[in-house]
Chain A
């Protein structure tokens, strides 16, 4: 038994070392960083313990901007993308011909490099001196006023960011919802048909309750993912997100850590913990709502 036990730990050893060094230790360390005031990464000294880092971050206009952007992004993209994914999945389930082709096409954004395709979106929406860009050309055809979506007004930039985020996250949601829809037992639909139930009623009384666990799973992961948005914004607006006014909370953390504005691991840690608390709170609220409404 004892020899066996030793062997088991040997098998676990690599995983334990990696997780210990790169997850467990950092987890404790980030808490320490966040309460060390005036930490200097060169001399590795600090003045003392306190909550100054948190108050600094919460009073930093850049953080407030990042917070606002992130919340807007979450509130807009999570319901829209989940709803759109549900509509598309319902459409996919209702057809037979070409279903596989559509599914394959819809999945493509998942396997693309966020940074690379973001450049394409930027070019489509950008307005430069020598060209209005495709989207603005289309707007002009329909008689609208052209807008620079990349360097222009806030709402325009937010619009592109939301659009790109939805484009990126939809494949996963469509995939999950189509397989959820496919797994609803055919018997229920047959029974409903025999009873002469209307299509709408069948949807609200059978389909929706049956797939509600998956919808809530998507809402929860969607919230978490959207709160951690960062690379989509970089792809569209470049690395200097503060200047573009399009930073996100995660972007703020990295900017504090590294780059031209970097060198402040304490502020980064405080911001990371604030983000974690926000995400945790939202997730708990989501779980409480789902417990009331989801039919398992």
Chain B
């Protein structure tokens, strides 16, 4: 209490003395703030505009859209026809279902692989632990492009093209998530583990009843990052599927662009784009804090 009062006092002091010492600066400071707000809003508009445009185009009537030589910034007669078209003219529902299955199974398997490995590295003692862990860290630096060639051959040789196993299996592991979770597990005090051992709790029980609940925030973070990754994955699914029945949304949208709807039905295309974008945006709105925190800890893109 005392400390906060003190710092407040300090702030008040500086706030009081600063304008007194240089009264002229105050005005230019305000101008600067206004400029900053204008520039930030400008960038905000640039970010939001593509979203607005896809929403707008998706509710424009096809005929009306085609007759606009200069695109209009709004429409007076919005229609939902394009959304119906998106589901009936191309198998968009199928793409959604595939992506959902792919995302859920991949994420679940990722957890089943990551949690035990992180547990072994953080709590258990075994010979060669440091060597294996160093090897894991070294693997983090290997770019996907280098290993995807053989994976493509492996999956093809195993006859797993156009199957969910072929899509999922190579996408399961992420060394980085193991590393992230291991760091988090290690923050749990050793005493807790020893106490549990004295009580005769098994390792597995300790892991599921103590460690996982404590580290839930980190686990949720990696789940969210994995879900985003799965929802947007394009390269591997493109290589491994050429049967539309196994397309994910990214491949679906590409397919729609090249062959769907007749190339010129852009409103229907935009309806599909909106539908594909919505799930992640909803996820983002709900878990905004968690996602941004998780990404700053471990995400990269671009």
Contacts and interface: CB of A to CB of B under 8 A. Distances in A.
A124 B178 CA distance: 41
Interface in A9-30: 9, 11-12, 14-15, 18-19, 21-27, 29-30
B147 A113 contact: no
B88 interface: no
B170 interface: yes
Contact of B47 (A108, A123, A222, A273): A108
B147 A102 contact: no
A168 interface: yes
Given A117-B50, A120-B270, A111 B283 contact: yes
B44 A102 contact: yes
A257 interface: yes
A3 to B, nearest CB: 11
A281 interface: no
A76 to B, nearest CB: 13
Given A95-B40, A133-B71, A257 B149 contact: yes
A110 interface: yes
B257 interface: yes
B220 interface: no
B53 to A, nearest CB: 6
Given A109-B47, A111-B280, A15 B36 contact: no
A230 B36 CA distance: 34
B253 A8 contact: no
B143 to A, nearest CB: 6
Given A18-B172, A179-B296, A115 B117 contact: no
Contact of B295 (A30, A175, A275): A175
Contacts of B47: 105-106, 108-109, 167
Given A15-B116, A91-B36, A279-B143, A115 B70 contact: no
Given A11-B124, A88-B43, A134-B71, A27 B142 contact: yes
A23 B141 CA distance: 11
B62 interface: no
Interface string A177-196: 00100000000001001100
Contact of B249 (A5, A113, A190): A113
B88 to A, nearest CB: 19
Given A113-B276, A119-B253, A250-B145, A172 B295 contact: yes
A209 B126 CA distance: 43
Given A26-B154, A250-B145, A108 B266 contact: no
B243 to A, nearest CB: 14
A140 B119 CA distance: 62
A105 to B, nearest CB: 5
A167 B301 CA distance: 12
Interface string B119-148: 111001111010010001001001101111
Contacts of A212: none
Interface string A259-272: 00000010011001
Interface string A215-230: 0000001101110101
Contact of B117 (A11, A112, A238): A11
B139 A117 contact: no
Given A19-B173, A108-B47, A238-B257, A265 B270 contact: no
Contacts of A224: 143
Nearest to A174: B43
B235 interface: yes
A35 interface: no
A234 B238 CA distance: 12
B125 A225 contact: no
A66 interface: no
Contacts of B136: 19
Contacts of B273: 116-117, 119-120
Given A105-B47, A137-B71, A176-B296, A168 B302 contact: yes
Contacts of B239: 254, 257-258
Interface string A39-64: 00100000000000000000000000
B254 A234 contact: yes
A92 interface: yes
Nearest to A227: B143
A108 B48 contact: yes
Contacts of A226: 302
B262 interface: no
A116 B139 contact: no
A175 B10 CA distance: 30
Interface string B261-285: 0001010011011001100110110
20 contacts: A5-B126, A8-B125, A15-B114, A27-B147, A29-B150, A88-B40, A108-B48, A108-B51, A112-B277, A116-B250, A120-B53, A176-B296, A190-B14, A222-B302, A225-B300, A239-B254, A250-B145, A254-B239, A272-B145, A276-B146
Interface of A: 1, 4-5, 7-9, 11-12, 14-15, 18-19, 21-27, 29-30, 33, 41, 81, 87-88, 91-92, 94-95, 98, 102-117, 119-121, 123-124, 128, 130-134, 137, 165, 167-169, 171-172, 175-176, 179, 190, 193-194, 221-222, 224-226, 228, 230-231, 234, 238-239, 250, 253-254, 257-258, 265, 268-269, 272-273, 275-276, 279
A-B pairs, top 8 by smallest CB distance, nearest first, are A169-B302, A26-B150, A26-B147, A8-B126, A15-B117, A11-B120, A8-B124, A11-B116
